[in-house]
Amino acid sequence: MFVDQANVYVKAGDGGNGIVAFRREKYVPKGGPAGGDGGNGGNIVFKVDEGLNTLMDFRYNRHFKAQRGENGMSKGKHGKASPDYVIPVPPGTTIYDNETNRFIADLVHHHQEAVIVRGGRGGRGNIRFANPRNPAPNLSENGEPGEELNIRLELKVIADVGLVGFPSVGKSTLLSVVSAARPKIADYHFTTLQPNLGVVDTADGRSFVMADLPGLIEGAHEGVGLGYQFLRHVERTRLIVHVLDMASTEGRDPYEDYKTINRELSNYGKLLGEMKQIVVANKMDMPDAQEQLEWFKERVGENIIIYPISTVTKNGIKALLYAIADELEHIPKEPIGEEEVVIEHPSEVESFTIARDDDGTFILTGDKVERLFKMTNFDSDEAINRFSRQIRHMGVDAALREKGAVDGDIVRLLDFEFEFIE
């Protein structure tokens, strides 16, 4: 398994502002409130798209902002809500809050989706504040700010294809020529000690994940060499690519190699022996390789298709990749991970904090107070009074008093300063 990662900033749309407006009626100077509500801002939604298998796109595009809701209008018309901003992610993407490391969501199945940050509610227009005591309120609300979050996406990739074969047959070299992976390559055995993964793109726009696995030797199923751990990884792939050194660089007979590896796979159990295989004859650039290939074909029979390649000359590689991609289209993907979407939205956090600046100013911070502040349209006294009531209700006044605030002290919230009044 290899982990692909991306850090991304997401900001949901702000709600549109509600407005203050009045009906115009003949002979009536102020004909009742008529200011409409703002529309809701768009959510940011991540949605699984089975066709994706990397987080590569997020390397270039790290900021996502959903649109704000439309402002309310006169004659009681509401502003339009903004649509959700839907961002496709590959199956197996896990999302974390990058600041707290809090788990946010695990997106696994095709079309599964999660709202990562919520758009702000549209502010209410003055119609909504009318009551018998105040039939013509001069009060409206601004839209609620959309939530914002720095998140980390992690993709646990499970390979579609596993490269299987004796040590030094050229598995790592093959991965290195077909993907951006840079595994260690050398002419001694067990160069590869753990799986390397790479994303392979075929010339016709298809894509799959290839794992280069440690070499197998006789007795692998009993734990000889690196066998056992390695076979566990093969189990999780959909297709085996069986790589052979057709040039017998080390003096072994490729046909014997082929049989030995297949025996190891069968003996391991878990149906590894029955998994679909694509057979690759590597090192075809070497003298004698062609002759060996003919001899090999005679012995395995016509039913087995062999793909001759050379990672040095690159001959045969393109055809091999097409064959792998074609084969994968017929082998279903197993679901990975657990289906789980747990979301605690930042706007649900109600607490606030009070600190003291050097000059004695009290500094008020907290998501909810800041949100209420941003939703207040300070153009009218009615709105200011409403805001003071709201924060008093949250316990802000009591907390300030407890911290020693007295009549006339300055309290700062965002870029706004007000006087504390008993």
- Residues at the contact surface with ligand GTP, assessed by CB under 6 A: 167-173, 185-187, 189-192, 214-215, 282-283, 285-286, 310-312
Q: What are phi and psi of 410, to 5 degrees?
A: -95, 135
**Cβ proximity to ligand GTP, 226 vs 369, nearer residue:** 226
Report the residue number whose CB is nearest to ligand GTP.
Answer: 215
**Cβ proximity to ligand GTP, 184 vs 389, nearer residue:** 184
Structure tokens at 361: 């100013």
Q: Which partner, Mg ion, ligand GTP, none, binds residue 95 by CB below 5 to 8 Å per kind?
A: none
Listed in sequence order, the residues at least 6 apart from 332 whose beta carbon sits closer than 8 Å to its beta carbon are: 238
Q: Which partner, ligand GTP, Mg ion, none, binds residue 138 by CB below 5 to 8 Å per kind?
A: none
Q: How far is CA 274 from CA 66, 128, 243, 268, 302, in A?
A: 49, 69, 17, 11, 19
**Cβ proximity to ligand GTP, 173 vs 376, nearer residue:** 173
* Closest by CA position to 176, among listed 200, 158, 155, 194: 200
Question: In whole angstroms, what is the distance from residue 309 CA to residue 279 CA?
Answer: 11
Min. distance of Cβ 168 from ligand GTP in angstroms? 4
Min. distance of Cβ 366 from Mg ion in angstroms? 54
**Cβ proximity to Mg ion, 182 vs 389, nearer residue:** 182
Q: Which partner, Mg ion, ligand GTP, none, binds residue 179 by CB below 5 to 8 Å per kind?
A: none
- Residues within the interface to Mg ion (CB under 5 A): 172, 191-192
Contact 160, 209 (CB under 8 A): yes
Q: Which partner, Mg ion, ligand GTP, none, binds residue 312 by CB below 5 to 8 Å per kind?
A: ligand GTP
In which residue are the tokens 């990058």 written?
Answer: 98
Min. distance of Cβ 211 from Mg ion in angstroms? 11
Torsion of CA 203, 208, 212, 216, to 10 degrees: -110
Min. distance of Cβ 187 from ligand GTP in angstroms? 4
In which residue are the tokens 């190891």 written?
Answer: 264
**Cβ proximity to Mg ion, 98 vs 249, nearer residue:** 249
Structure tokens at 163: 């490269």
**Cβ proximity to Mg ion, 184 vs 403, nearer residue:** 184
Question: In whole angstroms, what is the distance from residue 158 CA to residue 237 CA?
Answer: 7
